[in-house]
Amino acid sequence: MTRISMKQLRYFEALARHSHFGRAAEACAISQPALSLQMKELEAVLGASLIERGARQVRLTSLGEAFAERARDILRAVDELDDLARAALHPMTGRLRLGVIPTVAPYLLPAVIKAMAARTPGIEPFPREAVTAKLIEGLLEGRLDAALVALPVSEPALHEETLFSEEFVLVRALADADRPVPGPDMLPRMRLLLLEEGHCFRDQALSFCAPSGPEPRDLMEGSSLTTLVQMVGAGIGVTLIPEMAVAIEARSAPVSIARLSHPRPVRTIGMVWRRTNPLAGQLSHVARLVRDVATGPEPSDTPR
């Protein structure tokens, strides 16, 4: 009897994820006709249809939906077998598929990669920048090893390692530098610039600006912190950014930085990974490295 191959499972998982033959074929580094042939052979082995082929999009049948979920479990388990062997034989080597949220990646990731090259040269980082929901999805489906996100994520299948906390600061036009700093009760009345829906930083900022009421009425959105700061520099409004972004963003536009009154808004950054990941020891080491880069080594790590 012909059996299902791992190759077919990987190809089908990619097709289920992308819902498009062209994008799935590109992700698998094969031609679209070859992918289509593999899917037809897989359906022939099963004796049932997994895919509804449309003109522009692929839809899964009810069996296809269930099959995709089971295929992801199998592929993740196989990947973890490889990781288990690597952890036992060569604990600090191999690829590290690391997700990072957009409000951390530009400001911390370059220094982290540089530190990894110096301290863990056997680990090859493969970073991916995406919003938290996409990163959690990638972790749960086994496409990422770990992710740097704002905590908590409250996902039972994931381990959360707290790294550091940082404050938010207010960005205003340069002409407003000497004016009193508005309190959280005043910010909702101002033209407030925030990241678009999907960014956890937006939700954190809103929880400070409107802790118990509706969103500020005069609210504008941007796709990145750089865009928000540039808009502030053009005199459009005010915004909040994390402290790690100040050194880069404040010098790119004519703006002033002000610290908010107590209690100041803060966020906690951490590293998360699957609890079942055999590379947990290696990931803990990487988490300490990230913490050192962001805050400096703890006293216990300092040579005597």
Q: Which two tokens stand for residue 191?
A: 């033209």
pLDDT digits (tens, 9 = 90+) for 156-207: 999 999 999 999 999 999 989 889 888 777 877 788 888 887 788 888 887 7
Q: Domains in the chain, ordered, with CATH?
A: 6-83 (1.10.10.10), 93-164+269-298 (3.40.190.10), 166-266 (3.40.190.10)
pTM for this predicted structure: 0.75
pLDDT digits (tens, 9 = 90+) for 41-50: 999 898 899 9
Q: Which two structure tokens, joined as six digits, stand for 195?
A: 């990241």
Taking each continuous run of H as one helix and of E as one strand, the counts in the chain are 10, 11
The answer to whether 144 and 98 have CB atoms below 8 angstroms apart is yes
- Tell me how far apart the alpha carbons of residues 294 and 286 are, in angstroms, rounded to a whole number: 12
Give the type of residue at 199.
H
- Contacts for 5 with CB less than 8 Å, ≥ 6 apart: none
Quote the DSSP letter at residue 5. -
Please state, as a whole number, how many other Cβ atoms lie within 10 Å of the Cβ of residue 178: 6
Give how far Cα 251 sits from Cα of 104, 106, 129, 227, 304, Å.
Answer: 18, 15, 23, 13, 38
Instruction: Evaluate if residue 257 carries a pLDDT over 90.
Output: yes
